[in-house]
């Protein structure tokens, strides 16, 4: 009997499917996986799009972005017309998203960050056009962990928050959290290295602590509202105090005040 091929031996597990019909596919993207291959990460040859093409035999259209390090809900269209309609819904602000994030420090119980952002986060902001950007957030849990990052303090404070971007700029949540002084843990670009390393060592998990927990969008068939949740994974559940697996766990009105 011939030995199994390298491809078969190392084929990744199928992506968890959260919703599937004839027009769209919604998957739970793991952290560390590209949505599609890009010249900015040329050494990576694996992506959501490539995996789904192998699984389904057709190449889907991603209709929004998730950073490589971000986990959670990702929507892909299965035909060009569905991709066009969903893209238009995103552009028109007709899609709502919610994220879980682990941040440095203890922010206010809730807040609204209204801070314009440069178009390209990979380049210096000076000279770039600034685009309006708004993010709302609410604290779900506060942590005081028993390790020192700053010699002046015997412990370190962090918070689990829900973030709702009202606009869709690149790295919006990451840049907005940096702007208010509560950067995302695990963010090598906009975060703080000493905190990233300390949390990774204490929890035994090195990742970008951002999870796309929910998306609500109009279905391309008839515009009916479709809501899809991605339960937080094992790393979130193992946080001291725990995180529920049954989705974001916050009522519709919790982040609509103000």
> Of all helices (H) and strands (E), which one includes residue 201?
helix 193-203
Tokens of 230: 């991605």
Cα separation, 26 vs 215, in Å, equals 10
**Per-residue burial over 125-138, b = 16 or more CB atoms within 10 Å of its CB, e = otherwise:** eeeeeeeebbbbbb
Q: Where in the sequence numbering do the catalytic residues fall?
A: 67
Q: Is 43 helix (H, G, I), strand (E, B) or coil?
A: coil
71-77 vs 210-218, strand pairing mode: parallel
Q: How many CA atoms lie within 13 A of 82 on its CB side?
A: 20
24-29 vs 71-77, strand pairing mode: antiparallel
């Amino acid at each position: 009997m011939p030995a199994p091929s390298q491809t078969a031996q190392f084929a990744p597990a199928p992506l968890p499917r959260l919703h599937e019909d004839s027009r769209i596919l919604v998957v739970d993207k793991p952290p560390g996986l590209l949505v599609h291959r890009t010249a900015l990460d040329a050494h990576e040859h694996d992506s959501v799009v490539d995996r789904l093409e192998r699984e389904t035999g057709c190449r889907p259209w991603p209709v929004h972005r998730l950073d490589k390090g971000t986990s959670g809900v990702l929507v892909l269209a299965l035909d060009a017309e569905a991709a066009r309609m969903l893209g238009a819904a995103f552009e028109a602000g007709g899609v709502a998203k919610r994220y879980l994030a682990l941040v440095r420090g203890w922010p206010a119980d809730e807040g609204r960050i209204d801070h314009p952002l440069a178009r390209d986060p990979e380049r210096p902001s000076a000279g770039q056009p600034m685009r309006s950007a708004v993010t709302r957030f609410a604290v779900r849990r506060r942590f005081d962990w028993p390790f020192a990052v700053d010699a002046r303090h015997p412990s370190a404070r962090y918070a689990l928050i829900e973030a709702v971007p009202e606009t869709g700029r690149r790295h919006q949540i990451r840049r907005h959290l940096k702007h208010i002084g509560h950067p995302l843990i695990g963010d090598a670009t906009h975060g703080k290295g000493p905190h990233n390393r300390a949390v990774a060592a204490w929890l035994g998990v090195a990742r970008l602590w951002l999870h796309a927990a929910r998306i609500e969008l109009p279905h391309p068939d008839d515009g009916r509202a479709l809501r899809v949740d991605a339960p937080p994974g094992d790393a979130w559940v193992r946080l001291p105090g725990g995180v529920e697996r049954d989705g974001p766990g916050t009522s519709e009105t919790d982040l609509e005040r103000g």
